Chains A and B, each alone.
Chain A
């Protein structure tokens, strides 16, 4: 394994997240209280977010998760063991929530050729939301978020935690910055690389990015099962090759899919992308 930073790889998010954190005190917002924890819990969640909602504008619910030292939890994608953490947000009046954005995990290879993609320490899950134009200034919107996760060290324990907070609906004029900036920050999350060269064999995908010298791949649950992610999922090379293992599939003749988070070292700088490529059908391959 290459020397990744210990926890979260959100290189291109850091300036934006910093901006979000800097903006929070500007609007004198409240931070959601930490939920009481039982003695046996190894995972907790707090909300680090503005408690104001502006009709017609967008915001981000920042869920900060902390896993006890020496414990870990799992990326909501493909792992050899464990199951990925999930975020459940009940519907809230006047709010529409988007898909949660999870940070890039780290690879964790255990004896017996067991590969998991894990989170340790403290990390953030971002959930975008839009406030209805009909929200009434002066009203309050209750919001909840619940985390389900498997946390492990020597043993594994299914755990859950949640937060609840109230968003106060205010007029845009009550605020000195636009919440759109926060949404822009969220929109800076990893995207498809614009200039990837992706080629397919019957049972493999080959991806090449200009000037990339190192790749780490974290498949999500849409990805066709990789055959040897321990060897191929972290490679110092100018291209990434992922062979697929189709034996578990009901119909292994369907097109393979290369989908998940990709970290690539380009010009000596690590960058994160979310990729989703589907193997062309024979018809599509033809000129």
Chain B
């Protein structure tokens, strides 16, 4: 009986780890993506064990926002504070549009910010209800050339990259900027207008790949 319990306990510990490390990408080489490039496809697993494939969302006609995420980065945190709520507000503003917002955590598996419990608890504390995808091998992050959290990418339904850069124009960890590049880009994209600012300089914490 004890052995069975131990096996069950081991399975409980190991299975999430396997799920978390089961990310696969079709493009693994580091790349400097440019606007208009085809966004590298990936399949990643979220904290609840569900898999998410980029091309499934784009082929269904969705615009996809990728937000490189860390629960322990003050630059990320400033956009989730109760007095700011930058990220969730943009999501809420576009709740009725075909926009899928995916957060990706590319910290290596042993890094504190890759801890599944921490991410789950943070999602709850920060009222994040959409998936946080774990990329503990860093393959998706490196394929996109993501270096920081937050690092923002907007992908068209034809799976081309239409925006890459910062969330906004204030690069410290104290408060959001007055100009939100992602919100502006989404508004223009949905209106069928050209995006006036397709690349900006991202800022944030280093992604801990290895």
Contacts and interface: CB of A to CB of B under 8 A. Distances in A.
B209 A110 contact: yes
B141 A156 contact: no
B174 A81 contact: no
Contact of B206 (A82, A157, A158, A247): A82
Contacts of A154: 72, 111-113, 208
Interface stretch (B1-9, B37-45, B165-173, B183-191): B165-173
Contacts of B26: none
A80 B148 CA distance: 8
A116 B113 CA distance: 20
Contact of B203 (A83, A111, A114, A152): A83
A248 B145 CA distance: 16
Contacts, number: 69
A225 interface: yes
Interface residues of A, number: 20
B130 interface: no
A150 B171 CA distance: 12
B81 interface: no
A155 interface: yes
A197 interface: no
Contacts of B138: 111-112
Contacts of B195: none
A80 B147 contact: yes
A269 interface: no
A112 B209 contact: yes
Nearest to B151: A81
A225 B138 CA distance: 26
A158 B201 CA distance: 20
Contacts of A82: 205-206
Given A112-B141, A248-B165, A83 B205 contact: no
Contacts of A155: 72-73, 112-113, 205
Contacts of A247: 199
A88 interface: no
Contacts of B73: 155-156
| Chain B interface SS verdict (over half) | loop
B112 A80 contact: no
A114 B74 contact: no
A154 B111 CA distance: 7
Contact of A81 (B30, B112, B142, B147): B147
A113 interface: yes
Contacts of B72: 154-156
B53 interface: no
A154 B148 CA distance: 14
A216 B21 CA distance: 38
B210 A157 contact: no
A214 B1 CA distance: 68
B64 interface: no
B207 interface: yes
Contact of A113 (B112, B147, B174): B147
B74 A156 contact: yes
Contacts of A156: 72-75, 205
Given A82-B206, A114-B206, A150 B74 contact: yes
A154 B72 CA distance: 9
Interface of A: 80-83, 110-114, 116, 150, 152, 154-158, 225, 247-248
Which 4 pairs between the two chains have the least Cβ-Cβ distance? A111-B210, A81-B206, A111-B209, A112-B209
Interface of B: 30, 72-75, 111-113, 138, 141-142, 145-148, 165, 171-174, 199-201, 203-210
25 contacts: A81-B147, A81-B204, A81-B206, A83-B171, A110-B208, A111-B138, A111-B209, A112-B30, A112-B142, A112-B207, A112-B210, A113-B30, A114-B207, A154-B112, A154-B113, A154-B208, A155-B73, A155-B112, A155-B113, A155-B205, A157-B74, A158-B174, A248-B165, A248-B200, A248-B201
Given A80-B148, A156-B75, A158-B172, 4 more contacts: A83-B172, A110-B206, A112-B146, A158-B173
